[in-house]
Structure 1
Amino acid sequence: MDGGDTRGDGTVTCATWIRRPENAHLVVVGKSGPSSLEVFSFDPKATSLSSSHKVSQVSSLLARDGDQFLFLLKLFDIEIVAKYEFEEGVNPVTMAVHPSGDSLVCSTSTGDCKLFYLYGWEDNIKFMVEELLPLQGVGLQKCLAFSVDGTKFATGGVHRALSITVVSYRVCWVKSDLSLDSEFLASTSTDGSARVWNTIDGAPVTTLARNSDEKIGLCRFSKDGKKPFLFCSVQRGNTALTGVWDISTWKKIGHRRLLRKPASVMSVSLDGKYLALGSKDGDVCVVEVEKMEVRHWSKRLHLGSNITSLEFCPSERIILSSSSEWGAMVTKLTVPADWKDWQIYLFLLGLFLASLVVFYVFYQNSDSFWNFPLANDQTPRSNIETVLRNEQSEPSMWEHLDL
């Protein structure tokens, strides 16, 4: 596991990916004291954050976890690609980036939200700021989310709870997520309940069933387009669980003990194959959705610190996590490598060539009419002459017979 942090001046409050063409993704980090948004370029080969792709690696920490060695690279004195400084007394709380990667929304401690447009390339990224009038003075927004297609935007606050595009609904909630088809919005409340809303008319669809001793804390929709699931973190007494609901019936399918401790953040990869959970004391586990089994552990990644954000890289098996104490860090996952497009085409070409070889071998060794075996002392010409000679010496069965 390789990683890098972005500590330095200020305390990291949030971090997320900015998707860019040709997998030249960026990372945006929100900080307080002093308050700013900082954009870093990302080097997937070095699994590091940098602006010039020249990373200053000044120290390394070797930790032992069972039989696995975890290497954590500490990166300091990193220059940034772009930076925006907030006014005095204004701190970023959380962020959501539009799927196009051209803009992002950031909520602030003053109860307002700011819209940032990004333009430029590589080391010449610029911010253009715009005030979102519908989200001015709405109170502290602790959760922001764009739909997968980018057509809908949802916010959630402590006092004035839920907003979808320009329509507002009053629900006391703390976390939310939009479904893959943007039809549903799931939200959880501080009382441990979870409710599903219709994003078209804002009507409540259902309230997820739970036991009296259960509290639902986080929720995320599946994203593979095949399994319509809703994942939720569930606290049952002192036991931390991950529950799965079928969104076609809104019935609970089952639950698993995955992280085995209270989760502070949850994320799903863009292809829907993996689910990530971050704990309140710095652990991260990544789960294969198909089998609901843990495939990666990063214990003590943010040692003793609450993980505030956790996001999958858009194109690599890498996660971005952040905490107030350890800053923003990138971690390469120890999961099976995915097949690239060129690898699939090469594999299919290999199968085609192998089939040609098998056909040729079969053809050479077959006793077909077109390739019948010959005797050792016989040639094709002598064989044909023998047949012709026999036909000339014997009367034909079709000759005219005199009666």
Structure 2
Amino acid sequence: MSRREIPPCSKTYGFPIYCSSWAPLEKIYSKTASASTTGEDESKNLENQPDDTNELSEEISSVESSEHDEIPRDELFLVLGGGGGEGRSGVPNVILIASYDLVSQSLSETPVQRVGTEEKLPYRMAVHPEGEGILFAFPNGCRFFEWESAAEPNKQFQPKIKSTERMLPQLEDIGLQLALAFDAQGSLLATGGEDGKMRIYNWPSMELSFEQSETGKSVKDLNFCCGAKFLASVLDNGNCRVWDLNSKEIAANLPRENREKHLLCRFSQPSDGVSVLYTLSAQDQFLRIIAWSTASWDKIASKNISKDPVSAFNVSPDGKFLAIGTIEGDVVILSQNLQVHSTVKRAHIGLVTTLAFSHDSRALVSTSFDSFSRVTMVEKQKRAGNYQWIISVLIILLAIILALLAYYIKEGGIMLTDKKEL
């Protein structure tokens, strides 16, 4: 058996990966720079210096700030969480930040940061969209990490995390949360527990806005609508409910046909501005993606996509692509009309645990229990798909021309034959 070739876009960091996301680099850069400037201004205000000293201080500050490079435009940063769990498996529990080079299309060999979490396994994460930090779900509760700048003189800006002093007593000792989600504005946080409790908090005050309990069930997935009007939840019994965030009432109980089970859910904001809810659903031996109208909650599209069990699902921020990951390690990217855009067979040697599109929808990261993370560039494959479409059209046109040419040659041959007979 030939050895499996590992491309530069795939790297292992030595631990099974349970959660992943992309760092909102511009938001982090803006926030950390703002905090740094605020601190400098406060320090200056405390000192009653002569005018010439103030001018000199400002010049020095300007020189120091110019030593730091701008935010990198050809580099993205990944946050990964996972490990061996409790016990003495020998595999550490880790939160890791890695960089991805867009030019060479390669993941970094050495991580930007590696933070051990002792006996606590980072099971799920939710990245605050405005760059405040990351909320991690551990077996017994949640913990928040803030971003900090790793910029050094004459070096590029790199994001790192630090344990925050912000206390979240509401999320301590609440058990394992199987789903975490911030809304697009970062003003709402939703948690879904193994105990069947779904909670919505106002952020950052952590005031409890809504709580729903499902006895004997677990919350498997949560996702906010782009405009924070709805929240979709999926339970382990296959039910998918949509909650109206204004009235705190159920807006829809999505129907299930012939013992169908909804497994995962994602809202999308297509280019026409009309929101769509996608569900990954299982029926008999097939898994399919269903599109639901958020205006009527009617089914507007459906397609069978796989016979293999699907373990991960996501939708790109621009709404143009969907992605699934199977327990066989395959990654499939679909277009908005549910047609297969590209497939990476055996992207992993184990089941795909997470899928996450970058904020510009150009890159897709997939992770697995095989300890590998892999980045697939969507934009490049899209161009290749366009070329293939053009080639197909040219082949069809060539076939038509050849058919017409053969017809006229045949007709010409018949005419020549008729003249000879005459």
Q: Contact between 2:181 and 2:189, CA under 8 Å: does it hold in 1?
A: yes
Distance 1:258 1:237 in 2: 13
Distance 1:3 1:265, change over 3 A: farther
Specify which of 225, 246, 261 is matched with residue 215 of structure 1: 261
Specify which of 100, 122, 125 is matched with residue 92 of structure 1: 122
Q: Contact between 1:15 and 1:328, CA under 8 Å: does it hold in 2?
A: no
Specify which of 95, 116, 119 is matched with residue 37 of structure 1: 95
Q: Contact between 2:19 and 2:82, CA under 8 Å: does it hold in 1?
A: yes
Q: CA deviation at 1:220?
A: 0.5
Distance 1:279 1:9, change over 3 A: closer
1:117 alignment counterpart: 146
1:186 alignment counterpart: 232
Q: CA deviation at 1:38?
A: 1.0
**Could you tell me which amino acid in structure 1 is paired with residue 369 of structure 2?**
S
Distance 1:6 1:43 in 2: 13
The answer to whether 1:154 aligns with 2:212 is: no
The answer to whether 1:105 aligns with 2:131 is: no
Distance 1:10 1:131, change over 3 A: farther
| Pairing of 1:272-291 with structure 2 (within 5 A) | 272-289=319-336, 291=337
Q: Contact between 1:41 and 1:49, CA under 8 Å: does it hold in 2?
A: yes
| Pairing of 1:297-316 with structure 2 (within 5 A) | 297-303=343-349, 305-315=350-360
Distance 1:181 1:209 in 2: 24
Q: CA deviation at 1:185?
A: 0.7
Q: How many residues align?
A: 307
Distance 1:8 1:253 in 2: 42
> Residue 25 of structure 1 aligns to a residue in which SS?
strand
RMSD: 2.1
Q: Contact between 2:133 and 2:161, CA under 8 Å: does it hold in 1?
A: no
Q: CA deviation at 1:99?
A: 1.3
Residues 319-356 of structure 1: CA distance to partner in whole angstroms, max 9, x if unpaired? 11111114222122353359xxxxxxxxxxxxxxxxxx
The answer to whether 1:323 aligns with 2:368 is: yes
**Could you tell me which amino acid in structure 2 is paired with residue 249 of structure 1?**
S
Unaligned 5+ segments in structure 1 are: 51-77, 339-403
Q: CA deviation at 1:2?
A: 5.5
Q: Contact between 2:97 and 2:114, CA under 8 Å: does it hold in 1?
A: yes
Distance 2:168 2:80 in 1: 20
2:388 alignment counterpart: none
- TM-score, normalised to structure 1, is 0.71
Residues 293-314 of structure 1: CA distance to partner in whole angstroms, max 9, x if unpaired? 11111111112x1211100112
Unaligned 5+ segments in structure 2 are: 1-5, 27-70, 84-90, 152-156, 202-207, 385-422
Q: Contact between 1:241 and 1:260, CA under 8 Å: does it hold in 2?
A: no
Distance 2:116 2:368 in 1: 20
Q: Rg: which structure is higher?
A: 1
Q: Contact between 1:2 and 1:331, CA under 8 Å: does it hold in 2?
A: no
**Could you tell me which amino acid in structure 2 is paired with residue 148 of structure 1?**
A
Q: CA deviation at 1:146?
A: 1.3
The answer to whether 1:248 aligns with 2:291 is: no
Q: Contact between 2:365 and 2:375, CA under 8 Å: does it hold in 1?
A: yes
Q: CA deviation at 1:238?
A: 0.8
**Could you tell me which amino acid in structure 1 is paired with residue 264 of structure 2?**
L
Greater Cα offset, 112-121 or 17-26: 17-26
1:197 alignment counterpart: 243
**Could you tell me which amino acid in structure 1 is paired with residue 185 of structure 2?**
D
Q: CA deviation at 1:201?
A: 4.3
Q: CA deviation at 1:3?
A: 5.0
Distance 1:200 1:137 in 2: 29
Distance 2:137 2:22 in 1: 16
**Could you tell me which amino acid in structure 1 is paired with residue 358 of structure 2?**
C
Q: CA deviation at 1:6?
A: 3.8
Structure with greater proportional helix content:
2
Residues 51-110 of structure 1: CA distance to partner in whole angstroms, max 9, x if unpaired? xxxxxxxxxxxxxxxxxxxxxxxxxxx2222222213x211101111112341111012x
- TM-score, normalised to structure 2, is 0.68
**Could you tell me which amino acid in structure 2 is paired with residue 108 of structure 1?**
F
Q: Contact between 1:2 and 1:332, CA under 8 Å: does it hold in 2?
A: no
> Residue 305 of structure 2 aligns to a residue in which SS?
coil
> Residue 258 of structure 1 aligns to a residue in which SS?
strand
| Pairing of 1:2-401 with structure 2 (within 5 A) | 3-21=8-26, 22=71, 23=73, 24-32=75-83, 33-50=91-108, 78-87=109-118, 89-109=119-139, 111-120=140-149, 121=151, 122-123=157-158, 125-129=160-164, 130-165=166-201, 166=208, 167-171=210-214, 172=217, 173-224=219-270, 226-289=273-336, 291-303=337-349, 305-315=350-360, 317-333=362-378, 334-337=380-383
> Residue 210 of structure 1 aligns to a residue in which SS?
coil
Q: Contact between 1:164 and 1:199, CA under 8 Å: does it hold in 2?
A: no
2:55 alignment counterpart: none
Q: CA deviation at 1:161?
A: 2.5
Greater Cα offset, 116-125 or 173-182: 116-125
> Residue 253 of structure 1 aligns to a residue in which SS?
strand
Q: Contact between 2:19 and 2:123, CA under 8 Å: does it hold in 1?
A: yes
**Could you tell me which amino acid in structure 2 is paired with residue 146 of structure 1?**
F
Distance 1:219 1:227, change over 3 A: same
Distance 1:145 1:337, change over 3 A: farther
